[in-house]
Amino acid sequence: MSEYQLPAQFEEFSQARKEGFLRAKAIKDSGGHIAGTFCTFTPCELMDAAGVHPVSLCGMSPEPIPAAEKDLPKNLCPLIKSSYGFAVSDTCPYTYFSDLIVGETTCDGKKKMYELLGRMKDVYILQLPQGIDRSYALEMWTKELHRFKAALEEKFNVTITDQALREAAELRNQLRQARTALMELQKLDPPPFTGLGLYKLLDGLGFSFDLHSNLKKLTDLTAQLQADYAAGARPVPPGQKRILVTGCPIGGVLEKTVKVVEENGGVVVCFENCGGIKPTRYLVDTQAEDIMSAIAQRYLNIGCAVMTPNSQRMELLPQLVEEFRVDGILEIELQTCHPYTVERYEIKKLAHDMGVPFLALDTDYSQSDVGQLTTRIAAFIEML
Amino acid sequence: MPVYSIGVDIGSTCAKLAVVEDGRTLVHQMVMPTGWSSAETAQAIYDQLERQGYCPDSSPCVATGYGRLNVPYAQKTVTEITCHAKGAAFLFGTEACAIIDIGGQDTKVIAMADGVVQDFLMNDKCSAGTGRFLEIMANTLCVDPGTLCELARRGSGVSISSMCTVFAESEVISLIGSGTAKEDIAYGIVESIVNKVASQYGKLSVPGDRCYLTGGLCESPYILESLSRTLGLTVTSHPLARYAGAIGAALTAHGLARSERRTSV
Ligand code: SF4
Ligand code: SF4
């Protein structure tokens, strides 16, 4: 008999969710460990090297929000509420079966939500330095990684060797490069992929723990798409306006943003945000003398709005606009996300200076603004 | 043979129709309440077109407005933002300007240059600063929206602080209860709308200081005055400005007819 129990309401779940629970339980039953993560800053190399499977618990569904609102304020980022709601309602298999939840000091909402989560789960918080212009930012973050490493070793009773870290970093580098190669196919005109299809595919890989097989899937798919394209396949018609998406994580609002873009004469050629290019461009120097510091360095390159100043984002955006020959920038923000909604001012100015039209949308996980968003997006594309 | 192109603008409160001859002359326009079903309204417009001797099935036709997807005889849908800019260029000329459209459920500020949208802003999902807000408040005061605007001219001193329509309505009800003059309440209501619109205007970088009001409220002289005062510039309108969206749609339809002919040659 397994020592792991399914949640009490298991029988009421949909088929897909039941399968998710059974898959996660099977991992645990076979002696595997799961660490839930929420952010692109989470150093997954350390967990890989400890033999723990990191999986993103980022809440993308409106469903558990009412459960979350019992404890959390209503006017809070839907991603934070959804993530928390999954944990309190025992409806996400990976949250439910996670041995450890790893968070960082990113935005205030997440930070404080993790504290509450700590009442139910074993939560570990990494203190992320937020000013990478400080000479000691790297030193501090490296120390944080060492502290986290020690915590992992103790909790899972393992030793994380340098060798294992280098191997993990190497594999993660390859995965990032493979994702980049696939995403960069969108530089073609017309691109070989709808943005929606691309995003869903990349997102789905996060729930398969066999990293080698993910790598193979990615490289095979890239090769296949290239071959099809060379043979004349054009799944996206020519002449669609080429859109770059930036801003908050968008997994929970794909249908009412990205899909609407693509139904109204546009195609998303580049996702700059988490889930897209931002977390894949920078690699770990696996040959570096100090591998921990090399891993730390990679993460500090991520241009997230929780950083101040966020110069990395300001530098990356113009490059992407040029490389992907972008016609318009669409910033998607989740309601009450202060880091991104305030930073919008800078991005708007940047877009203006580049001469690229810019539209910012502020939305949540509900359906109440679908009509308005559609009009805005369609008008934006008509304007390009 | 002249070519007649048709523009249908199904707004949340009113549906507008415009017929343009050869992409140059407005030959017919009409407005009717949208009612509860935009599909039925679209059909009523269809019947009206036939009565007037136009053929909605074979003439180029574009639908716009929030009910734009419910016009089966339209060849294409275009958003009201693009259509209002086109219609405004037709009515006011193509020089750079701002267009304010206070619609039934959305208020838009559009920056236009050379007849093309440069940038735009729309209110968020709440109805503050829209025609709907005015309508609800007018109902509460037992007057029609037009009368409310003219009452406002004679009022002063009241400000409605709540941005939310539901709360603002209870604010108005308590003002009525405390015996505040209707004129003063009306003044507060118009101020609330105008301030909301002005804050939207302030967020958009508008080329020059030409500013036009289109949409349903453009027939109210007091709204124009009050907007001009708050924005510190002269906001003007046009007797046909409530048809700007429909006219823009008809002009877009004319473009369609031409390009279609080109491709079929
Ligand atoms: S947007 Fe920033 S805080 Fe949010 S997941 Fe990405 S890196 Fe983390
Ligand atoms: S979207 Fe913004 S508010 Fe929400 S978790 Fe990310 S950084 Fe925090």
> Domain holding B74: CATH number?
3.30.420.40
- On whether residue B254 sits in a domain, the answer given is yes
Q: What is the pLDDT of residues A66-114, one digit of tens each?
A: 999 999 999 999 999 999 999 999 888 889 999 999 999 999 999 999 9
A362 touches chain B (CB under 8 A): yes
pLDDT (mean) for B165-192: 90
Nearest chain B Cα distance for residue A378, angstroms: 7
- Give residue B264's pLDDT: 28
Three-state SS at A284: coil
Q: Is B119 on the interface with A (CB under 8 A)?
A: yes
Integer Cα distance of A18 and A2 in angstroms: 17
> How far is B154 from chain A, CA to nearest CA, in Å?
35
Q: Measured between alpha carbons, how far is A77 from B72 in angstroms, rounded to an integer?
A: 39
Q: What is the mean pLDDT of chain B?
A: 89
Instruction: Let me know how many helices (H) and strands (E) chain B has, helices first.
Output: 8, 10
Task: Give the span between the Cα atoms of A188 and A186, in whole angstroms.
Answer: 5
Strand partners, A242: A267
φ, ψ of residue A72 to 5 degrees: the values are -110, 155
Question: Of B79, B86, B127, B251, which to mutate for an interface test with A (greatest number of A Cβ within 10 Å)?
Answer: B79
- A377 Cβ partners below 8 Å, 6+ apart? A257, A260, A261, A264, A266, A330, A359, A361
pLDDT in tens, B51-84: 999 988 889 999 999 899 999 999 999 999 999 9
Query: Atom 1, ligand 2: which residue's CA is nearest?
Result: A248
- Quick check: B15 and B65 in contact, CB under 8 A? yes
Torsion of CA B93, B94, B99, B102, to 10 degrees: 60
User: Which strands, in side-by-side order, build the sheet including B25-33?
Assistant: B25-33, B14-21, B4-10, B61-64, B76-77
| Ligand at shortest distance from the CA of A334 | 2
Give span(s): CATH 3.40.50.11900, chain A.
Answer: 164-383
User: Looking at CA atoms only, how far is residue B79 from chain A in angstroms?
Assistant: 6
Tell me whether residue B222 is in a domain. Answer: no
- Angle formed at CA B105 by CA B228 and CA A331, multiple of 5 degrees: 90
Does 3.40.50.720 match the CATH number of domain A164-383?
A: no
Give SS3 for A173.
Answer: helix
**Could you report how far apart the first and last alpha carbons of chain A are, in Å?**
62
Please say whether the beta carbons of A277 and A183 come within 8 A. yes
Long-range contact pairs involving B23-27 (C-beta distance under 8 Å, separation at least 24): B23/B251, B23/B254, B23/B255, B23/B258, B26/B90, B26/B240, B26/B243, B26/B247, B26/B250
Nearest to B122 among A368, A372, A382 (CB): A372
pLDDT of A65 higher than 50: yes
Q: Is the dihedral of CA A75, A365, A299, A54 positive or negative?
A: positive
Which band of pLDDT confidence, cut at 50, 70 and 90, is reported for residue A382? very high
- List the single range of A107-121, A149-163, B68-82, B124-138 with lowest mean pLDDT: B124-138
Domain hosting residue B18, numbered range: 4-83+243-264
Instruction: Give the nearest partner residue to A371 out of B66, B118, B124, using CB atoms.
Output: B66
**Do the strands A52-56 and A33-37 form a parallel or antiparallel pair, or are they unpaired?**
parallel
Inside any domain, residue B163: no
Contact criterion met (CB below 8 Å) for A302 and A137: no
Q: Per the structure, how many domains does chain B have? A: 1
Model pLDDT, residue B125: 63
Q: How confident is the model at residue B263 (pLDDT cuts 50, 70, 90)?
A: very low
Q: Give the pLDDT band of residue A239 (cuts 50, 70, 90).
A: very high
Q: Is residue B10 part of a domain?
A: yes
pLDDT class of B257 with cuts at 50, 70, 90: low
Phi-psi region at A53: left, alpha or beta (left = phi > 0; alpha = psi -120 to 50): beta
Query: What CA–CA distances, in Å, run from B210 to A69, B110, B263?
Result: 47, 12, 38
Q: What percent of chain A has pLDDT over 70?
A: 99
What is the overall mean pLDDT for chain A? 94
For the domain made up of A10-158, the CATH class stated in words is alpha beta
Q: Which residue of A has its CA nearest to B65?
A: A375
User: How far does residue A110's CA lie from ligand 1's centre (Å)?
Assistant: 10
User: pLDDT-derived band of residue A209, with 50, 70 and 90 as boundaries?
Assistant: confident
CB-based contact A378 B80, cutoff 8 Å? no
Q: Are strands A266-271 and B4-10 parallel, antiparallel or unpaired?
A: unpaired
Of how many residues is chain B composed?
265
A88–chain B nearest CA distance, Å: 30
Q: How far apart are CA B10 and CA B105, in angstroms?
A: 12
Strands of the A52-56 sheet, one edge to the other: A52-56, A33-37, A100-104, A123-126
CB B120 to CB A362 under 8 A? no
Between CA A162 and CA A31 the distance in angstroms is 23
Is residue A41 lining ligand 1, measured as CB closer than 6 Å? yes
> Of the candidates A241, A251, A315, A256, which has an alpha carbon nearest to the alpha carbon of residue A281?
A315
Report residue A18 as tokens. Answer: 């039941």
Residue type, B211: C
In A, residues 300-359, which contact B (CB 8 Å cutoff)?
A: 357
The rounded Å distance from CA A81 to ligand 2 centre is: 10
In angstroms, the CA A380 to CA A104 distance is 36
- Taking CB atoms and an 8 Å cutoff, what residues of chain B touch A383? 81-82, 116-120
Number of neighbours of residue A17 by Cβ within 10 angstroms: 14
Domain(s) labelled CATH 3.40.50.11890 in chain A stretch across 10-158
Contact across the interface for A375 and B122, Cβ inside 8 Å? yes
